Amino acid sequence: MPEPRKKPLSRQLHLDLYYYMRLNREVEDTMTRLFRQNKIVGGLYSSLGQEAISVGTAYALEKRDWMAPMIRNIGALLVKGVPPRDIFTQHMAKYTSPTQGKDGTSHFGDLENLHIVSPISMLGDLIPVMAGVAIAGRYLGQKIVAMTWIGDGGSSTGVFHEGLNFAATQRAPFVLILENNLWAYSTPVRRQVPIENLADRAKAYGIESYIVDGNDVVAVYTTAKEAVERARAGEGPILIEAKTFRRRGHAQHDPAEYVPKEQREFWEKRDPITLYEAFLLKEKLLDAKSKNEIEDRMSALLEKEREFAENSPMPPPEFVRQGVYCTGDDCHKIGPKWERPIAEVTPPKCSVEPVWTVEGFGRGKSSSRGDAPIHFGDVSSFAEKPAHTASAKTQAKGLAKKSVKPAAKSAVRGKTPQKARR
């Protein structure tokens, strides 16, 4: 498991990471208040304590790259360019929302401009989807990287393994962020996984992996940046396990009383924003003046965006049957965006001769615990030399004749065989 190369970050990059983590938390705090006012229509899922993961990983992507967030990755949406009003109106099911009120949770994306694939409720299904997006981008010559996230509980689903295996066999330019937040709803990670590091699952697919402190935004960013660069360079998919803690329940309806009090207190002392702010102040990358400027900037933005959302209309009743299904070009233009000559991936340039050589089938331990080399010989020689079969039969007859000679000699010497005696 490689150690990420440490590169110095600019002051502006440090402050950007700080700003987006703060914005992530303020957006969620605003939605919590809206939820308690019965203005949020659907469910609300908190990423309290996990902001460093969403922000740090998404910031490692370039504008051309694709991502598919999950319900706790609002920070990734903000980094990619989604305005807070879209997040507010979406959860309030307003007509001005990205889905025009058709959904009341985080199920929205932007395929045309921001390259965001909508979340899928069936956990793990985003992995094969984004592996396919990565492969398609490579085929079209776009040189993109695709990224998605999964939790520790979602890593136990079958499609997690199927999708990661698919990405590995195709060497897809794909980065998977595994957020190990210690709880799959109310099931602790130790009750669902028999290994200490979930990153070890990458070994089964022959791909690289990293383990990172999910509450250290700089460590998350530098690790993700290296993984993205390696995936773009053709090294195949990479798995990053970010160790963290989910400080609130599965959703607003869940008080998370199953979490031990001592465990919650332990992680509250390791708040990623508090730790990073202390680091920035110590390194003189942030001072009281710049901190106040950031807070004023956020407050003005969120006040404006919240007011827009609250004053937006609900969708009209007659709209209920529109936009449910995509109907093709009148819904949105669908078509490949080539960034390479098509001739490169069409015959005769892309043709390969269907010839392969099997030199061996690996080695491993047999049931007797010994080494078990497996090798396939050249079977073509059997078809070319039919006389070989006849020779074998002749040898077999010779062995049969030799086997009766001792009994015949015994009879000559006057020693009757047991069967003759009877």
Per-residue pLDDT of 80-95, as tens digits, reads 999 999 999 999 999 9
Residues 149 and 293 in one domain: yes
Give the residue from 303, 276, 305 showing the smallest Cα distance to 19: 276
Residues 27 and 113 in one domain: yes
Secondary structure (DSSP) of 203-262: GGGT-EEEEEETT-HHHHHHHHHHHHHHHHTT---EEEEEE----S-SSTT---TTS-HH
Q: Of the residues 340, 360, 393, which one is the last residue of a structural domain?
A: 340
* pLDDT value for 348: 86
Evaluate whether residue 386 is within a structural domain: yes
Residues 417 and 331 in one domain: no
Q: Distance (Å, rounded) from C-alpha 72 to C-alpha 151?
A: 10
Q: Distance (Å, rounded) from C-alpha 155 to C-alpha 197?
A: 12
Q: Of the residues 277, 308, 340, which one is the last residue of a structural domain?
A: 340
Residues 183 and 131 in one domain: yes
Q: Which residues of the chain have pLDDT under 50?
A: 385, 387-422
Residues 330 and 402 in one domain: no
Residues 37 and 163 in one domain: yes
Secondary structure (DSSP) of 58-69: HHTS-TT-EEE-
The helix-helix angle for 51-59 and 272-282 (nearest 10°) equals: 60
Helix (H, G, I), strand (E, B) or coil at 91: helix
Name residue 185's amino acid.
Y
Evaluate whether residue 99 is within a structural domain: yes
Residues 212 and 296 in one domain: yes
- What is residue 285's DSSP assignment? S
CA dihedral defined by 176, 181, 183, 189, rounded to 10 degrees? 70
Query: How many structural domains compose the chain?
Result: 2
243 is written with which tokens?
Answer: 């160790």
Evaluate whether residue 191 is within a structural domain: yes
Phi/psi class of residue 321: alpha, beta or left (left: φ > 0; alpha: ψ in -120 to 50)?
A: alpha
Q: Which domain holds residue 230?
A: 11-340
Name residue 279's amino acid.
F
Instruction: For residue 71, count other CB atoms closer than 10 A to its CB.
Output: 20
Q: Of the residues 273, 308, 340, which one is the last residue of a structural domain?
A: 340
Q: Distance (Å, rounded) from C-alpha 13 to C-alpha 189?
A: 34
Q: Distance (Å, rounded) from C-alpha 112 to C-alpha 118?
A: 12
Give the residue from 38, 39, 21, 47 showing the smallest Cα distance to 250: 47
Residues 64 and 163 in one domain: yes
* pLDDT value for 5: 63
Residues 204 and 129 in one domain: yes
Evaluate whether residue 220 is within a structural domain: yes
Residues 328 and 409 in one domain: no
* pLDDT value for 8: 84
Evaluate whether residue 350 is within a structural domain: no
Evaluate whether residue 366 is within a structural domain: no
* pLDDT value for 378: 54
Per-residue pLDDT of 146-199, as tens digits, reads 999 999 999 999 999 999 999 999 999 999 999 999 888 888 888 888 889 999
Q: Distance (Å, rounded) from C-alpha 230 to C-alpha 237?
A: 9
Name residue 120's amino acid.
I
Residues 288 and 193 in one domain: yes
Give the residue from 272, 269, 268, 273 showing the smallest Cα distance to 294: 273
Evaluate whether residue 28 is within a structural domain: yes
What CATH number corresponds to the domain at position 69? 3.40.50.970
Residues 399 and 285 in one domain: no
Evaluate whether residue 345 is within a structural domain: no
